[in-house]
Amino acid sequence: MTGQEKIDYLISSIDAINARLQDGSVKSVGAVGYAAIGGVIEDGSLDSSMITAAELNTYLEAKELVLNHDYAIAQTAEQMFMQEHAAAMNSLSLAVDDLTAATSIIMTAVSVAAVAAEADTKPEQVALQGMVATDEYSIDAAEVNDYNEAATAVENFAQQAGAFMAAANNDELTASIDSYASQGNFLVGSYTAITYTQSVDEFVITWADSGFGSGWQGYLTPDMKSADDVYAAGEYIEQYGGYPTQ
């Protein structure tokens, strides 16, 4: 059986059980209704609602077939890159959460600047001293380190996710990788490591179990975005609520 055939087999087995459940649901209402008015239902009235041993065994067999099939392995370079993109986006989401938390802590501390700007009397200056003396309104090295690490993680995972998506959409690159795997007679999805280095625009992919590995360089140059591009995109998204088109 192919992977899809196994899924279809599972669906079929579930449909058979679901039909029993639907039958039982309707008949239980009828049975209760008759019971309430003195109707005596016959023996075996709910027999057709019972899940048979054969139906259960079919379901268990289908379930096992699906569980044991390797659906995750990519068949093509495009699929490989999209899987890596999904993983990088998950990591990016967590990194953004960390950056948001770290930013909130430092934003609270730097908000003291507004108080400082208005502190032109002795009582206000004394109050300012009291605020700055508290942990909430002061910044320490650990907080700065947490913020910087979170920002670095966002940059890294955003870069990786963007590169994997761009690679998946690059027909020339995916065709080259698919051809390399075909000539080596191994599955693209059996790769053991993949890295992307933006500074040299290079993917390095290793298929250690098959004894293959190679690099693909210079394919994503048109997709590069500068710090100014990133800032402009952020402003665009905040203003319009959607992604920029370029």
Task: For 204-241, write each residue's pLDDT tens digit.
Answer: 999 988 899 999 999 999 999 999 999 999 999 988 88
* Residues 34 and 106 placed together within one structural domain of the fold: no
Q: Report in angstroms the alpha-carbon separations of 42 from 19, 37, 51.
A: 21, 15, 19
pLDDT at 138 over 70: yes
Whether 53 maps to a domain, the answer reads yes
* Residues 99 and 45 placed together within one structural domain of the fold: no
pLDDT in tens, 45-93: 999 999 999 999 999 999 999 998 877 788 899 999 999 999 999 999 9
* Residues 51 and 82 placed together within one structural domain of the fold: no
* Residues 89 and 22 placed together within one structural domain of the fold: no
**DSSP, residue by residue, the chain:** --HHHHHHHHHHHHHHHHHHHHHHHHHHHHHHHHHHHT--PPTTTTGGGSPPHHHHHHHHHHHHHHHHS--SS-SSHHHHHHHHHHHHHHHHHHHHHHHHHHHHHHHHHHTHHHHHHH--SHHHHHHHHHHHTSSTTS--HHHHHHHHHHHHHHHHHHHHHHHHHHHHT-HHHHHHHHHHHHHHT--GGG-SEEEEEGGGTEEEEEEGGGTEEEEEESSSGGG---HHHHHHHHHHHHHHSS----
The number of angstroms, rounded, from the C-alpha of 7 to the middle of its chain's C-alpha atoms is 23
* Total tally of structural domains belonging to the chain: 2
Residue 167 class from Cβ within 10 Å (0-12 exposed, 13-18 middle, 19+ buried)? Answer: buried
* Secondary structure in 3-state letters for 132-192: HCCCCCCCCHHHHHHHHHHHHHHHHHHHHHHHHHHHHCCHHHHHHHHHHHHHHCCCHHHCC
Q: Which of 37, 68, 99 is the last residue of a domain?
A: 68
Which of 87-101, 110-124, 221-235 comes out lowest in average pLDDT? 110-124
Q: Which domain holds residue 52?
A: 3-68
The number of angstroms, rounded, from the C-alpha of 22 to the middle of its chain's C-alpha atoms is 35
pLDDT at 246 over 70: no
* Residues 54 and 92 placed together within one structural domain of the fold: no
